């Protein structure tokens, strides 16, 4: 299948590589030349803009870091909306349902189908092809691209309306953010009381408190003090902000996730948006007066 791919960052680059490895023909674009050239070496063709990508292929995928960039790539002056060949735009980014609905409405005016397709599973999942791939869009168009999306992991068809997959992704990510923050506070509590953090993690993982935070993030990136799990604080903050905003707009209780948002706002302020999101542990350590784990 001929596919355009826009956005070759931490998630996009490994996903694009998997498409090439699966035999798909890629036309790629990124604002940085290095990741483009890396994929050209693997057989991809380089494009000069999102519009140029959409001039060459019918199916365009995008993996982008912010709502503003997603909207510009889709609807901007040099966006895919102005492409000559594009028929469907698959947004792999996390934008929230409101942005997805706006993009879908704009693209529909040019008879371009918007397919929401946020993913979950981190950089490791993108490289291994073990992501959770959430899709919403017209049945026929989703069916046309489902095999290509399966290269990334397990495909879950959420519904046909624009934004439905985005809502699913926000629900997932706000739970991820919550378990990360809560596990950090629980471990800091134990360490302050004299417990060993590594033993605590072993007990939690054998018990009912187990989560992705305790099972993977703490052993891999926090206890060794590397803080390099591979997802940025700023991106997690963006997702939690979107989740809280969506909950408020829908009129559902949001007391817990609003408090979680406060913790991520503080982490972002103190450690910066480019820091690894496991830095929330450092924020909690500072206030608890403890250090979790040991440098190797």
Domains of the chain: 2-160 (3.40.50.720), 167-288 (1.10.1040.10)
Question: What does the DSSP 8-state code read for residue 292?
Answer: -
| Mean pLDDT on 45-52 | 98
Q: Which ranges of the chain does DSSP label H, i.e. alpha helix?
A: 12-21, 33-40, 50-56, 67-75, 97-108, 122-128, 139-149, 164-192, 197-206, 212, 233-250, 255-271, 280-288
**Buried b or exposed e, range 38-57, using 16+ CB within 10 angstroms:** bbeeeebbbbebbbbbbbbb
* Predicted pLDDT of residue 295: 59
Task: Report residue 114's pLDDT band, with 50, 70 and 90 as the boundaries.
Answer: very high
Question: Which residues participate in catalysis according to the annotation?
Answer: 169
How distant, in Å, are the alpha carbons of 39, 55, 119 from that of 94? 23, 25, 8
Average pLDDT, the chain: 96
* pLDDT band, very low/low/confident/very high, at 212 (cuts 50, 70, 90): very high
CA pair distance 175, 213, nearest whole angstrom:
11
Predicted pLDDT of residue 128: 96
- pLDDT score of 229: 92
Does 43 score more than 60 pLDDT?
yes
pTM score, whole prediction: 0.91
Give the whole-number percent of the chain exceeding pLDDT 90: 95
- The answer to whether residue 86 scores a pLDDT higher than 60 is yes
**Distance, CA of 36 to CA of 137 (rounded, Å):** 29
CB 152 within 8 A of CB 18: yes
Cα radius of gyration (the chain): 20
Nearest of 178, 216, 154, 221 to residue 146 by alpha carbon? 154
């Amino acid at each position: 299948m001929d596919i355009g791919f826009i956005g070759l960052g931490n998630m996009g680059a490994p996903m694009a590589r998997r498409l090439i490895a699966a035999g798909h023909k890629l036309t790629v674009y990124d604002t940085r030349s290095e990741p483009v050239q890396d994929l050209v070496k693997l057989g991809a063709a380089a494009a000069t803009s999102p519009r140029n990508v959409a001039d060459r292929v019918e199916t365009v995928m995008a993996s982008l870091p912010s709502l503003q960039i997603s909207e510009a790539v889709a609807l901007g002056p040099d966006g895919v909306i102005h492409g000559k060949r594009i028929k469907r735009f698959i947004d792999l980014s996390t934008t929230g349902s409101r942005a997805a609905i706006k993009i879908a409405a704009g693209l529909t005016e040019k008879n371009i189908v918007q397919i929401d397709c946020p993913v979950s599973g981190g950089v490791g999942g993108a490289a291994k092809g073990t992501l959770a791939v959430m899709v919403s869009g017209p049945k026929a168009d989703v069916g046309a691209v489902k095999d290509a999306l399966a290269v990334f992991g397990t495909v879950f068809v959420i519904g046909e309306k624009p934004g439905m997959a985005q809502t699913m992704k926000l629900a997932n990510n706000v739970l991820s953010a919550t378990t990360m923050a809560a596990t950090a506070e629980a471990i800091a509590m134990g360490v302050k009381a004299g417990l060993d953090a590594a033993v605590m993690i072993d007990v939690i993982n054998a018990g009912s408190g187990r989560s992705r935070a305790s099972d993977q993030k703490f052993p891999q990136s926090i206890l060794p003090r590397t803080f390099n799990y591979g997802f940025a604080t700023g991106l997690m903050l963006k997702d939690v902000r979107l989740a809280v905003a969506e909950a408020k707009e829908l009129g559902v209780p949001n007391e817990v996730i609003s408090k979680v948002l406060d913790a991520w706002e503080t982490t972002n302020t103190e450690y910066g948006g480019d820091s690894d999101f496991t830095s929330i542990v450092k924020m909690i350590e500072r206030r608890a007066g403890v250090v979790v784990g040991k440098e190797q």
